[in-house]
Amino acid sequence: MHTFRFEVKKIWKRKGTWIALFICIFAISALYFFNKETARDMEATNQNLIQNRTDQFRQWAAESDAAAEKAKQEGDTATADEQSFMAERFGEGIKKYEKLKIAYDIDDWDYIYSTDLEGMQLFVENPMEAQVSIEEQRVDHFTLRASFEEKQQLLEKGLIPPAQDIFLYSLMPTLYNEFTGFSAAQWEQKTERYGTVGWNILYQLTQYFLIPITILLGAFLFGNSVSSESIRKKRGLHFFQVLPISKGRVFFAKYLVGLIHTILFTGIISMMPLLLSLLDRGIGSLAYPVLVYDGPDPSAFGSSTPVPNGDYDTFHFISLGDYFMQALWLTLLMAFFIYTVYFFLSLWIRHAGATFLVTGSIMFIGTMIGASAWNPFQYLDVHRIITQENRVLLVDNRYTIQNGLLALGLTGLFLWLVSFGRYRHLKVR
Protein backbone atom coordinates (compact mmCIF):
# COMPACT_ATOMS: atom_id res chain seq x y z
CA MET A 1 0.00 0.00 0.00
CA HIS A 2 2.91 2.35 0.73
CA THR A 3 4.32 1.69 -2.73
CA PHE A 4 0.92 2.46 -4.27
CA ARG A 5 0.63 5.76 -2.39
CA PHE A 6 4.20 6.64 -3.30
CA GLU A 7 3.44 6.17 -7.02
CA VAL A 8 0.26 8.25 -6.72
CA LYS A 9 2.16 11.12 -5.11
CA LYS A 10 4.77 11.03 -7.88
CA ILE A 11 2.06 11.47 -10.51
CA TRP A 12 0.35 14.30 -8.66
CA LYS A 13 3.64 16.14 -8.15
CA ARG A 14 4.49 16.13 -11.84
CA LYS A 15 3.76 19.56 -13.34
CA GLY A 16 3.53 18.01 -16.78
CA THR A 17 0.55 15.91 -15.68
CA TRP A 18 -1.46 18.94 -14.59
CA ILE A 19 -0.49 20.95 -17.68
CA ALA A 20 -1.54 18.09 -19.96
CA LEU A 21 -4.81 17.66 -18.05
CA PHE A 22 -5.69 21.36 -18.42
CA ILE A 23 -4.80 21.26 -22.13
CA CYS A 24 -7.12 18.28 -22.67
CA ILE A 25 -9.91 19.97 -20.69
CA PHE A 26 -9.43 23.10 -22.79
CA ALA A 27 -9.53 21.03 -26.00
CA ILE A 28 -12.76 19.20 -25.11
CA SER A 29 -14.29 22.52 -23.97
CA ALA A 30 -13.37 24.13 -27.29
CA LEU A 31 -14.93 21.17 -29.10
CA TYR A 32 -18.07 21.58 -26.99
CA PHE A 33 -18.42 25.29 -27.78
CA PHE A 34 -17.72 24.67 -31.46
CA ASN A 35 -20.56 22.14 -31.45
CA LYS A 36 -22.86 24.60 -29.68
CA GLU A 37 -22.08 27.39 -32.14
CA THR A 38 -22.65 25.06 -35.07
CA ALA A 39 -25.99 24.02 -33.59
CA ARG A 40 -26.99 27.67 -33.13
CA ASP A 41 -25.98 28.47 -36.70
CA MET A 42 -28.08 25.56 -37.93
CA GLU A 43 -31.07 26.72 -35.91
CA ALA A 44 -30.66 30.24 -37.34
CA THR A 45 -30.45 28.75 -40.84
CA ASN A 46 -33.70 26.87 -40.23
CA GLN A 47 -35.39 30.07 -39.08
CA ASN A 48 -34.23 31.85 -42.23
CA LEU A 49 -35.40 28.92 -44.35
CA ILE A 50 -38.88 29.10 -42.82
CA GLN A 51 -38.99 32.86 -43.36
CA ASN A 52 -37.85 32.47 -46.97
CA ARG A 53 -40.52 29.85 -47.61
CA THR A 54 -43.14 32.16 -46.09
CA ASP A 55 -42.03 35.07 -48.27
CA GLN A 56 -42.00 32.80 -51.31
CA PHE A 57 -45.56 31.66 -50.70
CA ARG A 58 -46.62 35.30 -50.23
CA GLN A 59 -45.06 36.17 -53.56
CA TRP A 60 -46.76 33.26 -55.30
CA ALA A 61 -50.11 34.16 -53.68
CA ALA A 62 -49.77 37.77 -54.82
CA GLU A 63 -48.90 36.68 -58.36
CA SER A 64 -51.88 34.30 -58.44
CA ASP A 65 -54.23 37.05 -57.17
CA ALA A 66 -52.93 39.41 -59.83
CA ALA A 67 -53.31 36.75 -62.54
CA ALA A 68 -56.86 35.98 -61.35
CA GLU A 69 -57.82 39.66 -61.41
CA LYS A 70 -56.38 40.07 -64.88
CA ALA A 71 -58.23 36.97 -66.14
CA LYS A 72 -61.51 38.33 -64.74
CA GLN A 73 -61.02 41.60 -66.58
CA GLU A 74 -60.36 39.67 -69.79
CA GLY A 75 -63.44 37.50 -69.22
CA ASP A 76 -61.41 34.28 -68.85
CA THR A 77 -63.44 32.71 -66.06
CA ALA A 78 -61.66 29.32 -66.09
CA THR A 79 -58.23 30.89 -65.66
CA ALA A 80 -59.55 33.25 -63.00
CA ASP A 81 -61.00 30.36 -60.97
CA GLU A 82 -57.78 28.35 -61.35
CA GLN A 83 -55.59 31.24 -60.19
CA SER A 84 -57.94 32.00 -57.29
CA PHE A 85 -57.70 28.37 -56.20
CA MET A 86 -53.89 28.52 -56.41
CA ALA A 87 -53.91 31.73 -54.36
CA GLU A 88 -55.94 29.96 -51.65
CA ARG A 89 -53.46 27.05 -51.60
CA PHE A 90 -50.53 29.44 -51.31
CA GLY A 91 -52.39 31.20 -48.50
CA GLU A 92 -52.61 27.88 -46.63
CA GLY A 93 -48.86 27.48 -47.12
CA ILE A 94 -48.30 30.95 -45.64
CA LYS A 95 -50.32 30.06 -42.54
CA LYS A 96 -48.48 26.73 -42.20
CA TYR A 97 -45.02 28.30 -42.25
CA GLU A 98 -46.07 31.19 -40.01
CA LYS A 99 -47.24 28.68 -37.39
CA LEU A 100 -44.05 26.68 -37.87
CA LYS A 101 -41.92 29.77 -37.33
CA ILE A 102 -43.76 30.58 -34.11
CA ALA A 103 -43.30 26.98 -32.97
CA TYR A 104 -39.53 27.18 -33.56
CA ASP A 105 -39.34 30.52 -31.79
CA ILE A 106 -40.95 29.18 -28.61
CA ASP A 107 -39.60 25.58 -28.87
CA ASP A 108 -43.07 24.11 -29.32
CA TRP A 109 -41.78 20.68 -30.32
CA ASP A 110 -45.17 19.02 -29.93
CA TYR A 111 -46.49 21.03 -32.85
CA ILE A 112 -43.34 20.47 -34.94
CA TYR A 113 -43.34 16.71 -34.32
CA SER A 114 -47.05 16.43 -35.05
CA THR A 115 -46.64 18.34 -38.32
CA ASP A 116 -43.72 16.15 -39.38
CA LEU A 117 -45.52 12.93 -38.48
CA GLU A 118 -48.58 14.00 -40.44
CA GLY A 119 -46.46 14.70 -43.51
CA MET A 120 -44.39 11.52 -43.18
CA GLN A 121 -47.26 9.10 -42.60
CA LEU A 122 -48.07 8.68 -46.29
CA PHE A 123 -44.45 7.88 -47.16
CA VAL A 124 -44.23 5.29 -44.39
CA GLU A 125 -47.55 3.56 -44.99
CA ASN A 126 -47.55 3.67 -48.80
CA PRO A 127 -43.92 3.56 -49.99
CA MET A 128 -44.91 2.53 -53.52
CA GLU A 129 -47.23 5.51 -53.96
CA ALA A 130 -45.14 8.22 -52.29
CA GLN A 131 -41.37 8.43 -52.01
CA VAL A 132 -38.83 10.90 -50.63
CA SER A 133 -35.90 11.45 -52.98
CA ILE A 134 -32.78 13.54 -53.41
CA GLU A 135 -32.13 14.22 -57.08
CA GLU A 136 -34.16 11.16 -58.06
CA GLN A 137 -32.27 8.91 -55.62
CA ARG A 138 -34.79 7.35 -53.25
CA VAL A 139 -34.50 7.58 -49.47
CA ASP A 140 -34.64 4.00 -48.18
CA HIS A 141 -37.89 2.90 -46.57
CA PHE A 142 -35.97 1.76 -43.48
CA THR A 143 -34.85 5.37 -42.88
CA LEU A 144 -38.40 6.64 -43.22
CA ARG A 145 -39.76 4.02 -40.82
CA ALA A 146 -37.02 4.63 -38.25
CA SER A 147 -37.36 8.42 -38.47
CA PHE A 148 -41.14 8.19 -38.12
CA GLU A 149 -40.90 6.05 -34.96
CA GLU A 150 -38.15 8.25 -33.52
CA LYS A 151 -40.39 11.32 -33.84
CA GLN A 152 -43.26 9.42 -32.24
CA GLN A 153 -41.08 8.67 -29.21
CA LEU A 154 -39.80 12.25 -29.04
CA LEU A 155 -43.41 13.46 -29.09
CA GLU A 156 -44.57 11.00 -26.44
CA LYS A 157 -41.66 11.78 -24.09
CA GLY A 158 -41.56 15.54 -24.75
CA LEU A 159 -37.84 15.53 -25.63
CA ILE A 160 -35.66 18.15 -27.30
CA PRO A 161 -34.11 16.94 -30.57
CA PRO A 162 -30.60 17.76 -31.81
CA ALA A 163 -30.22 20.63 -34.25
CA GLN A 164 -30.64 19.49 -37.85
CA ASP A 165 -31.60 20.80 -41.26
CA ILE A 166 -35.42 20.77 -41.25
CA PHE A 167 -35.62 19.90 -44.94
CA LEU A 168 -36.88 16.36 -45.67
CA TYR A 169 -38.71 16.21 -42.32
CA SER A 170 -35.32 16.13 -40.46
CA LEU A 171 -34.78 12.44 -41.23
CA MET A 172 -32.25 10.47 -39.20
CA PRO A 173 -29.14 9.00 -40.86
CA THR A 174 -29.10 5.21 -41.15
CA LEU A 175 -26.73 2.71 -42.74
CA TYR A 176 -29.39 1.59 -45.25
CA ASN A 177 -29.03 4.59 -47.56
CA GLU A 178 -26.52 4.37 -50.40
CA PHE A 179 -26.53 7.71 -52.19
CA THR A 180 -23.94 8.49 -54.83
CA GLY A 181 -22.42 11.65 -56.27
CA PHE A 182 -23.78 15.02 -55.22
CA SER A 183 -26.80 13.36 -53.61
CA ALA A 184 -24.52 11.66 -51.07
CA ALA A 185 -23.06 15.02 -50.04
CA GLN A 186 -26.54 16.54 -49.81
CA TRP A 187 -27.84 13.62 -47.75
CA GLU A 188 -24.92 13.91 -45.33
CA GLN A 189 -25.57 17.61 -44.94
CA LYS A 190 -29.32 17.18 -44.45
CA THR A 191 -28.95 14.43 -41.83
CA GLU A 192 -26.02 15.90 -39.90
CA ARG A 193 -27.03 16.43 -36.28
CA TYR A 194 -25.60 18.56 -33.49
CA GLY A 195 -26.63 18.11 -29.88
CA THR A 196 -27.95 21.13 -28.00
CA VAL A 197 -28.03 19.61 -24.47
CA GLY A 198 -25.40 17.77 -22.44
CA TRP A 199 -26.31 14.11 -22.88
CA ASN A 200 -26.98 14.57 -26.60
CA ILE A 201 -23.61 16.24 -27.11
CA LEU A 202 -21.83 13.44 -25.25
CA TYR A 203 -23.75 10.90 -27.35
CA GLN A 204 -22.66 12.73 -30.49
CA LEU A 205 -18.99 12.82 -29.44
CA THR A 206 -19.07 9.13 -28.54
CA GLN A 207 -19.78 8.40 -32.21
CA TYR A 208 -16.50 10.09 -33.17
CA PHE A 209 -14.12 7.86 -31.14
CA LEU A 210 -13.96 10.20 -28.13
CA ILE A 211 -13.55 7.27 -25.72
CA PRO A 212 -10.62 5.34 -27.29
CA ILE A 213 -8.78 8.58 -28.15
CA THR A 214 -9.14 9.82 -24.56
CA ILE A 215 -7.98 6.48 -23.17
CA LEU A 216 -4.92 6.54 -25.43
CA LEU A 217 -4.08 10.05 -24.22
CA GLY A 218 -4.49 8.86 -20.63
CA ALA A 219 -2.15 5.94 -21.27
CA PHE A 220 0.38 8.37 -22.75
CA LEU A 221 0.21 10.51 -19.60
CA PHE A 222 0.23 7.76 -16.98
CA GLY A 223 1.60 4.59 -18.63
CA ASN A 224 5.33 5.34 -18.73
CA SER A 225 6.14 4.85 -15.06
CA VAL A 226 8.36 1.80 -15.73
CA SER A 227 9.90 2.69 -19.08
CA SER A 228 10.82 6.25 -18.10
CA GLU A 229 12.44 5.14 -14.83
CA SER A 230 14.46 2.31 -16.36
CA ILE A 231 16.84 4.63 -18.23
CA ARG A 232 19.80 6.56 -16.95
CA LYS A 233 18.17 9.97 -16.95
CA LYS A 234 15.60 8.92 -14.35
CA ARG A 235 16.76 6.31 -11.89
CA GLY A 236 13.41 5.54 -10.25
CA LEU A 237 13.79 1.78 -10.51
CA HIS A 238 17.30 1.96 -9.01
CA PHE A 239 15.67 3.34 -5.87
CA PHE A 240 13.36 0.33 -5.53
CA GLN A 241 16.26 -2.08 -6.05
CA VAL A 242 17.91 -0.99 -2.80
CA LEU A 243 14.67 -1.39 -0.82
CA PRO A 244 13.24 -4.66 0.58
CA ILE A 245 10.39 -4.58 -1.97
CA SER A 246 9.71 -7.35 -4.46
CA LYS A 247 9.65 -6.68 -8.18
CA GLY A 248 6.09 -7.92 -8.37
CA ARG A 249 4.92 -5.40 -5.80
CA VAL A 250 6.53 -2.53 -7.69
CA PHE A 251 5.03 -3.74 -10.98
CA PHE A 252 1.51 -4.00 -9.52
CA ALA A 253 1.75 -0.56 -7.94
CA LYS A 254 3.00 1.17 -11.09
CA TYR A 255 0.54 -0.64 -13.36
CA LEU A 256 -2.53 -0.08 -11.17
CA VAL A 257 -1.75 3.57 -10.45
CA GLY A 258 -1.40 4.27 -14.17
CA LEU A 259 -4.56 2.33 -15.07
CA ILE A 260 -6.68 3.97 -12.37
CA HIS A 261 -5.50 7.44 -13.39
CA THR A 262 -6.21 6.65 -17.06
CA ILE A 263 -9.78 5.65 -16.17
CA LEU A 264 -10.23 8.79 -14.02
CA PHE A 265 -8.80 10.94 -16.81
CA THR A 266 -11.22 9.39 -19.31
CA GLY A 267 -14.13 10.02 -16.94
CA ILE A 268 -13.17 13.67 -16.40
CA ILE A 269 -12.82 14.42 -20.10
CA SER A 270 -16.06 12.57 -20.95
CA MET A 271 -18.04 14.43 -18.30
CA MET A 272 -16.91 17.90 -19.42
CA PRO A 273 -19.81 18.32 -21.92
CA LEU A 274 -22.27 17.62 -19.11
CA LEU A 275 -20.63 20.13 -16.77
CA LEU A 276 -20.49 22.81 -19.46
CA SER A 277 -24.10 22.19 -20.49
CA LEU A 278 -25.25 23.12 -16.99
CA LEU A 279 -24.29 26.69 -17.91
CA ASP A 280 -26.42 26.62 -21.05
CA ARG A 281 -29.54 24.57 -21.88
CA GLY A 282 -28.99 21.83 -19.30
CA ILE A 283 -27.96 18.20 -19.60
CA GLY A 284 -31.19 17.00 -21.24
CA SER A 285 -32.84 13.63 -20.74
CA LEU A 286 -31.53 10.07 -20.69
CA ALA A 287 -34.86 8.96 -22.17
CA TYR A 288 -33.78 10.11 -25.64
CA PRO A 289 -34.27 7.21 -28.12
CA VAL A 290 -31.23 5.56 -29.75
CA LEU A 291 -31.73 3.43 -32.86
CA VAL A 292 -30.56 -0.20 -32.64
CA TYR A 293 -30.48 -2.33 -35.79
CA ASP A 294 -31.94 -5.84 -35.68
CA GLY A 295 -30.72 -6.63 -39.19
CA PRO A 296 -32.16 -9.28 -41.51
CA ASP A 297 -33.88 -12.35 -40.10
CA PRO A 298 -31.51 -15.33 -40.74
CA SER A 299 -34.40 -17.83 -40.68
CA ALA A 300 -35.88 -16.21 -43.79
CA PHE A 301 -32.77 -17.01 -45.86
CA GLY A 302 -32.27 -20.68 -45.03
CA SER A 303 -28.73 -21.71 -45.95
CA SER A 304 -28.11 -18.48 -47.87
CA THR A 305 -26.23 -15.50 -46.44
CA PRO A 306 -28.67 -12.93 -45.03
CA VAL A 307 -28.78 -9.70 -47.02
CA PRO A 308 -29.88 -6.38 -45.42
CA ASN A 309 -33.15 -5.10 -46.89
CA GLY A 310 -34.56 -1.77 -45.78
CA ASP A 311 -38.14 -2.75 -46.65
CA TYR A 312 -38.25 -5.71 -44.25
CA ASP A 313 -35.44 -5.47 -41.70
CA THR A 314 -36.55 -4.52 -38.21
CA PHE A 315 -35.15 -2.22 -35.56
CA HIS A 316 -35.86 -1.03 -32.06
CA PHE A 317 -34.94 1.90 -29.82
CA ILE A 318 -33.19 1.95 -26.47
CA SER A 319 -32.96 4.90 -24.12
CA LEU A 320 -29.84 7.02 -23.94
CA GLY A 321 -29.51 5.82 -20.34
CA ASP A 322 -29.22 2.19 -21.50
CA TYR A 323 -26.82 3.29 -24.23
CA PHE A 324 -24.43 4.95 -21.77
CA MET A 325 -24.67 2.06 -19.31
CA GLN A 326 -23.50 -0.33 -22.02
CA ALA A 327 -20.88 2.20 -23.10
CA LEU A 328 -19.59 2.34 -19.52
CA TRP A 329 -18.84 -1.40 -19.43
CA LEU A 330 -17.14 -1.25 -22.81
CA THR A 331 -15.16 1.80 -21.69
CA LEU A 332 -13.83 0.07 -18.57
CA LEU A 333 -12.66 -3.00 -20.49
CA MET A 334 -11.38 -0.82 -23.32
CA ALA A 335 -9.34 1.24 -20.85
CA PHE A 336 -7.84 -1.97 -19.45
CA PHE A 337 -7.02 -3.22 -22.95
CA ILE A 338 -5.58 -0.01 -24.48
CA TYR A 339 -3.62 0.86 -21.35
CA THR A 340 -2.16 -2.65 -21.22
CA VAL A 341 -1.19 -2.51 -24.90
CA TYR A 342 0.53 0.82 -24.28
CA PHE A 343 2.20 -0.40 -21.06
CA PHE A 344 3.43 -3.57 -22.81
CA LEU A 345 4.91 -1.61 -25.72
CA SER A 346 6.52 0.93 -23.39
CA LEU A 347 8.56 -1.86 -21.80
CA TRP A 348 10.18 -2.49 -25.18
CA ILE A 349 10.31 0.95 -26.79
CA ARG A 350 11.03 3.03 -23.66
CA HIS A 351 10.19 6.32 -25.38
CA ALA A 352 6.81 7.90 -24.59
CA GLY A 353 6.33 9.63 -27.96
CA ALA A 354 7.30 6.57 -29.98
CA THR A 355 5.13 4.32 -27.82
CA PHE A 356 2.17 6.66 -28.33
CA LEU A 357 2.58 6.64 -32.12
CA VAL A 358 3.03 2.86 -32.30
CA THR A 359 0.01 2.20 -30.06
CA GLY A 360 -2.14 4.62 -32.05
CA SER A 361 -1.03 3.03 -35.32
CA ILE A 362 -1.80 -0.48 -34.05
CA MET A 363 -5.26 0.65 -32.94
CA PHE A 364 -5.97 2.24 -36.32
CA ILE A 365 -4.72 -0.74 -38.34
CA GLY A 366 -6.51 -3.16 -36.02
CA THR A 367 -9.86 -1.49 -36.69
CA MET A 368 -9.28 -1.48 -40.46
CA ILE A 369 -8.25 -5.11 -40.91
CA GLY A 370 -9.13 -8.43 -39.36
CA ALA A 371 -12.92 -8.20 -39.40
CA SER A 372 -13.27 -10.95 -36.83
CA ALA A 373 -15.71 -10.99 -33.93
CA TRP A 374 -12.76 -11.87 -31.66
CA ASN A 375 -10.56 -9.02 -32.81
CA PRO A 376 -10.56 -6.66 -29.78
CA PHE A 377 -9.81 -3.64 -31.97
CA GLN A 378 -13.17 -4.10 -33.69
CA TYR A 379 -14.83 -3.08 -30.41
CA LEU A 380 -13.15 0.32 -30.12
CA ASP A 381 -16.06 1.90 -31.98
CA VAL A 382 -18.45 1.85 -29.04
CA HIS A 383 -21.36 3.32 -30.99
CA ARG A 384 -21.33 0.73 -33.77
CA ILE A 385 -21.25 -2.12 -31.26
CA ILE A 386 -24.12 -0.86 -29.10
CA THR A 387 -26.31 0.00 -32.09
CA GLN A 388 -25.34 -3.33 -33.72
CA GLU A 389 -24.19 -1.71 -36.94
CA ASN A 390 -21.29 -4.16 -37.18
CA ARG A 391 -23.68 -7.09 -36.99
CA VAL A 392 -25.62 -5.74 -39.97
CA LEU A 393 -22.76 -4.45 -42.10
CA LEU A 394 -20.61 -7.56 -41.62
CA VAL A 395 -23.63 -9.93 -41.46
CA ASP A 396 -22.20 -11.53 -38.32
CA ASN A 397 -24.36 -11.96 -35.21
CA ARG A 398 -21.29 -12.64 -33.07
CA TYR A 399 -20.60 -8.90 -32.79
CA THR A 400 -22.19 -8.47 -29.37
CA ILE A 401 -21.28 -6.46 -26.31
CA GLN A 402 -20.65 -9.68 -24.37
CA ASN A 403 -18.16 -10.95 -26.95
CA GLY A 404 -16.58 -7.51 -27.04
CA LEU A 405 -16.03 -7.54 -23.29
CA LEU A 406 -14.50 -11.02 -23.55
CA ALA A 407 -12.21 -10.08 -26.44
CA LEU A 408 -11.00 -6.90 -24.74
CA GLY A 409 -10.65 -8.51 -21.32
CA LEU A 410 -8.90 -11.73 -22.35
CA THR A 411 -6.50 -10.02 -24.77
CA GLY A 412 -5.69 -7.40 -22.14
CA LEU A 413 -5.09 -10.12 -19.53
CA PHE A 414 -2.74 -11.99 -21.85
CA LEU A 415 -0.72 -8.84 -22.57
CA TRP A 416 -0.65 -8.03 -18.85
CA LEU A 417 0.89 -11.44 -18.09
CA VAL A 418 3.46 -10.97 -20.85
CA SER A 419 4.22 -7.48 -19.51
CA PHE A 420 4.77 -8.89 -16.04
CA GLY A 421 7.18 -11.46 -17.44
CA ARG A 422 8.98 -8.78 -19.42
CA TYR A 423 9.29 -6.57 -16.32
CA ARG A 424 10.82 -9.36 -14.26
CA HIS A 425 13.61 -9.66 -16.84
CA LEU A 426 13.91 -5.93 -17.47
CA LYS A 427 17.46 -4.62 -17.16
CA VAL A 428 17.79 -1.23 -15.55
CA ARG A 429 20.30 0.96 -17.39
Per-residue pLDDT tens over the stretch 187-211: 888 888 888 888 999 999 999 889 9
Instruction: Round to the nearest angstrom and report the end-to-end CA distance of the chain.
Output: 27
The pLDDT score that the predictor gives to residue 211 is 93
Radius of gyration of the chain (CA): 28
Range with the poorest average pLDDT among 12-16, 28-32, 41-45, 97-101: 12-16
Q: Which residues contact 323 (CB under 8 A, 6 or more apart)?
A: 203, 290, 386
Per-residue pLDDT tens over the stretch 276-325: 998 888 898 999 999 999 888 766 666 666 777 888 888 999 999 999 99
Global confidence as pTM: 0.87
Per-residue pLDDT tens over the stretch 324-379: 999 999 999 999 999 999 999 988 887 888 889 999 999 999 888 867 888 999 99
CB atoms within 10 A of CB 391: 20
The domain ranges of the chain are 107-194, 199-424
Query: What are 298-305's contacts with CB under 8 Å, separation 24+?
Result: 298/397, 305/395
Per-residue pLDDT tens over the stretch 216-272: 999 998 887 766 655 555 554 444 454 445 566 777 888 888 899 999 999 999 999
Q: Which residues contact 96 (CB under 8 A, 6 or more apart)?
A: 115
Q: Percentage of the chain surpassing pLDDT 70? A: 89
Strand 289-295 with 137-138, pairing:
unpaired
The pLDDT score that the predictor gives to residue 243 is 46
Sequence length of the chain is 429
If pLDDT is split at 50, 70 and 90, which confidence band does 95 have? confident
CB atoms within 10 A of CB 33: 11
